[in-house]
Amino acid sequence: MNVAVEVKAETGARELTYAQAIQEAMALAMEADERVVLMGEDIGVYGGAFQVTGNLVERFGPERVIDTPISELGGAGVAVGAAVTGLRPIFEFQFSDFATLAMEQIVNQAAKMRYMLGGAVSVPVVMRFPAGSGTGAAAQHSQSLEAWFGHVPGLKVVQPATPHDAKGLLLAAVQDPDPVMIFEHKLLYKMKGEVPEGFYTVPIGKAAVRREGRDVTIVATSIMVQKALDAAATLAGEGIDAEVIDLRTIRPMDRKTVVESVKKTSRLLCVYEGVKTLGVGAEISAMVAESEAFDYLDAPIVRLGGAETPIPYNPDLERATVPQVENILAAARDLVRGAR
């Protein structure tokens, strides 16, 4: 794969960063299917805004690793059109925020073509969005907009939280006949984790139980999964046994895994970086409230989401606008000990 890897001495397991796992997935997909092409701004010689495409242009050439003009609307439109005519494009936005310039192509074209043409065509396009705060990129380059896309029938929306899932979900997305939106948190690109060699997929629409517990269910997305796991480790020392669910896919959402967990723990805490109002946590909460798990609840459902403000540039203010481990700890303690 021409990717520098590390091997854990104690287990012999191969480790890649999140970014390396994505690059490897794209390379494998391109090797397996000549219809797979990469598109985006500065993804060629420059290697991508976050260096995720790396040297793939040298390996596959500029006809398959295509630098698009600085026009998100135009580039996304070309990718959607290419998908309809038989290719399987992977289109990279420099920042997820810039998808706002391409909503016409994503929401009105890619998401609706199969429906409007009676199933006669599919739109197998994958769009990658570097998302989230924490890099000091301020209000127009730090948003978490995945809930926008999760609201649109016809789109599938995933948020890998580990290098393993970043590779497996991307490979699953490339094989999918429908548009798949992949939101990659920018702070995860350097995260290391075990990644199997070769081609494998992670099913779209299936959550993962990252930690089993009996006292409270924490459903988290993207970078909040690791924060939830860190909080759960601290809570365990206090006698609170938290179950942590990595949602992985927000559309379609894995109702069964979440509902069964809440029936076991009787408490639900939703943690996500996007703005709290009308966010992913609202859908999780409604899903549980409308299910048989409602009768098992011993406390109100709690949502921890982003503050009602654009992301500030100041690092202390930036950190304060999104949930942190200490916020998860406080909310979980209140839920379990009955303060709410």
Could you tell me which CATH number the domain at 208-337 has? 3.40.50.920
**Helix 163-175, helix 18-32: angle, nearest 10:** 30
Instruction: State yes or no: is 6 an active-site residue.
Output: no
List, for residues 127-150, the tens digit of each pLDDT value. Answer: 999 999 999 999 999 999 999 999
Residue 4: pLDDT band (50, 70, 90) is low
Distance (Å, whole) CA 19 – CA 145: 20
Q: Which of 130, 126, 120 is nearest to 106 (CA)?
A: 126
Q: 184: how many CB neighbours lie within 10 A of its CB?
A: 26
Q: Which of 31, 141, 153 is nearest to 94 (CA)?
A: 141
- Please check the confidence at residue 10 and state whether its pLDDT lies above 70: no
pLDDT at residue 1 in the model: 40
For residues 73 and 105, the answer to whether their CB atoms sit within 8 Å is yes
- Please check the confidence at residue 46 and state whether its pLDDT lies above 70: yes
Q: How far is CA 339 from CA 62, 232, 269, 298, 331, in A?
A: 59, 19, 14, 12, 9
- Please check the confidence at residue 333 and state whether its pLDDT lies above 60: yes
What mean pLDDT is predicted for residues 232-238?
97
Q: What is the pTM of this model?
A: 0.94
- Please check the confidence at residue 199 and state whether its pLDDT lies above 50: yes
Residue 5: pLDDT band (50, 70, 90) is low
Q: 189: how many CB neighbours lie within 10 A of its CB?
A: 20
What class does CATH assign to 6-194?
alpha beta
Any idea which residue has 């984790």 for tokens? 193
The one catalytic residue in 141, 184, 243, 273 is 141
pLDDT at residue 340 in the model: 43
Identical fold at 6-194 and 208-337?
A: yes
Any idea which residue has 């690791």 for tokens? 226
Distance (Å, whole) CA 258 – CA 3: 36
What number of CA atoms fall less than 13 Å from residue 282's CA on the CB side? 11
Residue boundaries of the structural domains of the chain: 6-194, 208-337
List, for residues 259-304, the tens digit of each pLDDT value. Answer: 999 999 999 999 999 999 999 999 999 999 999 999 999 999 999 9
- What average pLDDT is seen over the chain? 95
The one catalytic residue in 24, 41, 72, 273 is 72
Instruction: State yes or no: is 141 an active-site residue.
Output: yes
